């Protein structure tokens, strides 16, 4: 399983570098997909428009997903099965992050996805942070002063 504490070593990802262009963010997604095994959960957080969906699409591409990958903002989850692992793409932005959001996630059966046979990517994961498995890989994407660059921070985001 991909682990946050060894991700830098695995991918030769230099966190001392302050800014990454979108091609580098996409390359990270491809490498995450290569290393993923069933049950991997990747929790994405960060600024609106910072590249969470871009990273999610790159992960799907790395899995060999042939369908068009879109953000499940209104459906909460999109499922893709054409790659080497099932890909479960969550966007929990529309959940309000406290009890009703967690209740809605429970109704969707998120545990079946998180502890199942696929790879889960959760955008806006900080909104449901207490529901994210402890061994999830947390990636925070943030804007920088350069609109073509992103700051990538590994580690759990502050739970809202």
The answer to whether position 9 is within a domain reads no
In a domain, residue 68? The reply is yes
Residue 17, SS3 per DSSP: coil
Instruction: Give the residue ranges of the chain where pLDDT is below 50.
Output: 3-9, 11, 97-98, 159-160
Q: 8 and 15 in contact (C-beta within 8 Å)?
A: yes
- Among 89, 48, 86, 84, CA closest to 70: 89
Q: Residues 124, 48: contact at Cβ < 8 Å?
A: no
**Rounded to whole angstroms, how far apart are CA atoms 6 and 141?**
18
Which domain does 109 fall in, by range?
17-154
Cβ count near 75 (within 10 Å): 14
pLDDT tens for each residue of 131-144:
899 999 999 999 99
Residue 4 lies in a domain: no
Q: Where are the alpha helices (DSSP H) in 36-98?
A: 52-63
Asked if residue 124 is part of any domain, the answer here is yes
The domain that holds 117 is classified in CATH as 3.40.50.300
Number of domains in the chain: 1
């Amino acid at each position: 399983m991909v682990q946050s504490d060894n991700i830098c070593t695995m991918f030769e990802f230099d966190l001392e570098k302050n800014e990454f262009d979108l091609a580098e963010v996409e390359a990270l997604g491809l490498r995450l997909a290569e290393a993923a095994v069933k049950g991997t959960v990747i929790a994405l957080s960060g600024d609106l428009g910072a590249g969470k969906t871009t990273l999610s699409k790159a992960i799907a591409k790395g899995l060999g997903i042939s369908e068009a990958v879109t953000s499940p903002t209104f459906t909460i989850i999109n499922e893709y099965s054409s790659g080497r692992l099932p890909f479960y793409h969550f966007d929990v932005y529309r959940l309000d992050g406290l009890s009703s959001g967690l209740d809605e996630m429970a109704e969707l059966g998120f545990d079946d996805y998180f502890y199942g046979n696929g790879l889960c990517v959760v955008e806006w994961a900080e909104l449901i942070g207490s529901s994210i498995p402890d061994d999830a890989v947390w990636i925070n994407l943030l804007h920088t002063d350069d609109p073509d660059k992103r700051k990538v921070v590994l580690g759990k985001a502050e739970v809202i």
